[in-house]
Chains A and B, each alone.
Chain A
Amino acid sequence: MGRYVIRRLLQMIPVFIGSTFLIFFMVYALGDPVAALFGDKAPDPATAARIRKDLYLDQPLWKQYLHYMGQIFQGDFGTAFNGQKVTELMASAFPVTLRLTIVAIAIEIVVGITLGVISGLKRGKSIDSGVLVLTLVVISVPTFVTGYLLQFVFGVTWGWVRPTVSPDAPFSELILPGIVLALVSLAYVTRLTRTSIAENVKADYVRTAVAKGLPRRRVVTRHLLRNSLIPVVTFIGTDIGALMGGAIVTERIFNIHGVGYQLYQGILRNNSPTVVGFVTILVIVFLLANLLVDLLYAVLDPRIRYA
């Protein structure tokens, strides 16, 4: 187990280097950011040259990348154009998005798995069809529609919640955005759980458990659900990274100053330190979430063992 974890951690290094290089290259391909700093006016050549030199933009791409990676290993992620350290931006953005992700994942797990179990056990019944139709609707409506709609209904018309999130972004204000962010994934979690449960409910070990006279609830939670969760856990694991990076739409709608917003700003202004820095962290989150998922398999199904 320990060796497996170490091997996995070592595998992360080439993935990390490769992905940062790709991102660096792609942001660079967007063009020279310095011209946009001057608005509609022509950039003053001498000033622009100084800024380029400071940002290392006058060097060939591979030198820029080496310089950047050298900085990263010293914990320096560079400076955004407004003079703020990218590490500062991260320190303010990641906790906010993390809270939003926690809310979204919690909703996914609780609501998604519950609905999935119910409809999986009642396959073919009207409640099952109801859940299927509902999830189909949720999957097919884009996030920005649900976002603006729920914001308008709950925030503006009924006034139950504040339509926008304050800078501190406490958990209480993140419930509505969390729901919006969770909705699409929630539908997938429900459907995955339902299929998995419906498959396993006829399995021998479930029949054995029932025959032993175990209470129905114990059969469902300990035997049926535990074995059915493996595909669901895989999905939720990869979803953690996807939600953190993909919150761009939700964060814009609800005025959340998180990772999505900073990334959007970074891309809009061609600010490579911001974009590469944030995506680098997201890559790490993805990798760790994947590792966690793999380790969870063994917990859920003892037949899976890692050497």
Chain B
Amino acid sequence: MRGATHAKWAACAAAVALAATACGGGSDSGGGGADGIVSSSWGDPQNPLEPANTNEVQGGKVLDMIFRGLKRYDPETGEAKNFLAENIETTDSQNFTITLKDGWKFSNDEPVTAQSFVDAWNYGADVTKKQNNSPFFSDIVGYADVHPEKGDPKAKTMSGLVVKDPKTFTVALKEKFSTWPETLGYQAFSPLPKAFFTDHDAWLKKPVGNGPYTVDSYTKGTGMKLRKWDAYTGEDKALNGGVDLKVYTDNNTAYTDLISGNLDLVDDVPAQQLKNVANDLGDRYINQPALIIQTLTFPLYDPQWNKEGMDKVRRGISMAINRDEITKQIFRETRTPAKDWTSPALGDKGGFSATACGEACSFNPTEAKKLIQEGGGLPGGKVSLTSNVDTGSHRDWMDAVCNSINNALGEGPVCTVNPIGTFADFRNQQSSFKLTGPFRSGWQADYPLIQNFLEPLYYTGASSNYGKFSNPEFDKLVDAANRESDAAKATATFKDAEKILAEQMPSIPLWYQNGSAGYGERVSDVKLNQFSVPVYDQIKVS
């Protein structure tokens, strides 16, 4: 009977489906990983994992586990402490002699020498290697030879880097830069083993560093298994057996895995879950300031925003924004209303000031209206806010800011939102100076220094000065601060420069972005550093 074959086939398919469902729940249930292993959410790094090519959090997370540099930022205070460096000496804030500590090795047993640093830095600066972080080496003498603006490099190495002996090298900078040693905790300055240069492809598949963890396996787009390196000699030995980083398609999915016990740690709690987080995790939820600030930058290259009296209008717009309510309603307090142009993660000693912006950053609709009228009104009677809207609830807060401005001014819908579909498109319009109204500019500092919050963004002609703000007084103060050898005095001078921002308001500080993380019951001692990256080596697994 031929008909029977069909029925049999259908029955089998159904049986297979049922059997498979039954098996589904059984395998690999329970905790997040093997004994002593922390499982953590991860996003696919944007670029290949090279220290000088990694400029985002996901890749930085790994580098923080497998590399240790000359300096390291204390996860609690943000202070740059000597790590591999025995000392960094200078008499003129321009020429530095760096001596290394004894006994440091890469996990392939190669010793870490002065050459390991010099080679790595020359590689990072070399324009032919296309490293995103090349500009970090631009202060060194000879950078233009390996990284010309056009054409092929004239040299392979920078003349400002000289190896004296296996443990000592000297660095000559183009200009005085007193806080330069403090920048050396940034991962772009990590040393690299010889294997990196001899077999680059193999190294990228399985990076070798000198940090407390070694890479056990790395499957691009899926995950990375890191294990404690037992022979690690540093003082910050890992307190757990290792970390399994798992790539998630979506942070909501990672969060679901966390609350169902399949994952130990997420370092990005999705906005939609913030209302449940207290209920789901209780005190296993971390929400603390990071070195990130969101601002609205004005296109000062556009004469209508830069003419006489517009500083009043810019301050007025700032005063029309109800930061407290927006951070509470939209961000559920994962953002902190901004009071200056830096971040509270710097600490008061580092240059954070809760008063730098003062009145101009507090909500005051009547004063806002008055200031805008005095300054000659909004250009053309309108203002339009621009940001990419593909991530980060940008659409939501822009709508809220516009509502706030419209309500404060009471002249109808004068503020509108100009949403841009993708980050790339937004970046293109921003960096080609095509925007004609205030636009979002996020800034995540590379190192906990007030210099990093001010100079790249507001110095005349600086790389990320997208509004083309230019103020000779500001530039003079920044130069003076960079020449100043006393750290406290340098910070104070930077703070003086910041006062000019408060008068001129080239950008409106909106809020500081917090790092948020949640963790499961298996793990304890979870902390975030100032870059909102978990301090993995201190996590304990019960």
- A36–B423 Cα distance when bound, in Å, is 6
Residues from chain A with Cβ under 8 Å of B219 in the complex: 167
> Among A39, A51, A167, which residue has its beta carbon within 8 angstroms of that of B222?
A167
Query: Are A39 and B127 in contact (CB-based, < 8 A)?
Result: no
Which residues of chain B in 413-454 are interfacial with respect to chain A, using CB atoms and an 8 Å cutoff? 421-425, 427-428, 431, 441-444
User: Which among A39, A173, A267 has the greatest number of chain B C-beta atoms within 10 A?
Assistant: A39
With contact pairs A31-B422, A41-B55 given, residues A155 and B21 touching in the complex (Cβ less than 8 Å): no
Interface membership of A204, Cβ < 8 A: no
- A222–B247 Cα distance when bound, in Å, is 49
> Among B29, B47, B127, B431, which residue has its beta carbon within 8 angstroms of that of A35?
B431
Which residues of chain A in 141-169 are interfacial with respect to chain B, using CB atoms and an 8 Å cutoff? 148, 151-152, 155-156, 159-164, 166-167
Query: Are B25 and A82 in contact (CB-based, < 8 A)?
Result: no
**Min CB gap A110→B, angstroms:** 6
> Among A172, A252, A261, which residue has its beta carbon within 8 angstroms of that of B23?
A172
> Among B56, B223, B253, which residue has its beta carbon within 8 angstroms of that of A164?
B253
Interface membership of A194, Cβ < 8 A: no
Which of A11-19, A42-50, A59-67, A289-297 lies at the interface? Answer: A42-50
Interface membership of A8, Cβ < 8 A: no
Query: Are A82 and B132 in contact (CB-based, < 8 A)?
Result: no
Residues from chain B with Cβ under 8 Å of A176 in the complex: 21, 24
Which of B6-14, B374-382, B496-504 lies at the interface? Answer: B6-14
> Among A155, A251, A264, which residue has its beta carbon within 8 angstroms of that of B256?
A155
Interface membership of B198, Cβ < 8 A: no
Which of B145-153, B281-289, B337-345 lies at the interface? Answer: B145-153
Interface membership of B28, Cβ < 8 A: yes
Bitwise, A201-220 to B at CB < 8 A (1) or not (0) is: 00000000000000001100
Query: Are B259 and A156 in contact (CB-based, < 8 A)?
Result: yes
**Min CB gap A261→B, angstroms:** 5
Please give me the residue from chain A that is nearest to B150 by CB atom.
A46
Interface membership of A185, Cβ < 8 A: no
Which residues of chain A in 49-75 are interfacial with respect to chain B, using CB atoms and an 8 Å cutoff? 49-51, 54
Interface membership of B476, Cβ < 8 A: no
Query: Are B256 and A39 in contact (CB-based, < 8 A)?
Result: no
Residues from chain A with Cβ under 8 Å of B256 in the complex: 151-152, 155-156, 163-164
Interface membership of B44, Cβ < 8 A: yes
Interface membership of B3, Cβ < 8 A: yes
Query: Are A42 and B431 in contact (CB-based, < 8 A)?
Result: yes
Query: Are A83 and B132 in contact (CB-based, < 8 A)?
Result: no
**Min CB gap B280→A, angstroms:** 10
Query: Are A45 and B128 in contact (CB-based, < 8 A)?
Result: no
Please give me the residue from chain A that is nearest to B253 by CB atom.
A255
> Among B6, B46, B150, B444, which residue has its beta carbon within 8 angstroms of that of A221?
B6
Query: Are A268 and B390 in contact (CB-based, < 8 A)?
Result: yes
Query: Are A40 and B444 in contact (CB-based, < 8 A)?
Result: yes
Residues from chain B with Cβ under 8 Å of A253 in the complex: 250, 252-253
Residues from chain B with Cβ under 8 Å of A218 in the complex: 1, 3
Query: Are B48 and A46 in contact (CB-based, < 8 A)?
Result: no
Residues from chain B with Cβ under 8 Å of A261 in the complex: 249
Residues from chain A with Cβ under 8 Å of B257 in the complex: 163-164, 255
- A162–B260 Cα distance when bound, in Å, is 8
Query: Are A37 and B25 in contact (CB-based, < 8 A)?
Result: no
Residues from chain A with Cβ under 8 Å of B222 in the complex: 92, 167, 257
Show the binding face of A for B, using Cβ within 8 Å.
30-33, 35-47, 49-51, 54, 81-84, 88-89, 92, 103, 106-107, 110, 114, 148, 151-152, 155-156, 159-164, 166-167, 171-173, 175-176, 217-218, 221-222, 251-257, 261-262, 264-265, 267-270
Supply 23 A–B pairs (Cβ within 8 Å), ascending by A: A33-B424, A35-B424, A35-B431, A36-B422, A36-B424, A37-B132, A38-B427, A47-B132, A50-B128, A106-B17, A110-B14, A155-B260, A159-B25, A166-B28, A172-B21, A175-B20, A175-B21, A255-B248, A256-B249, A257-B221, A262-B221, A265-B44, A267-B422
The 5 closest A-B pairs by CB, nearest first: A36-B424, A83-B48, A35-B427, A31-B425, A42-B463
For the complex with contacts A35-B427, A221-B7, 12 further pairs of A-B residues with Cβ separation under 8 Å are A39-B56, A47-B127, A49-B150, A54-B130, A110-B13, A162-B24, A162-B260, A163-B260, A171-B20, A253-B253, A255-B253, A257-B221
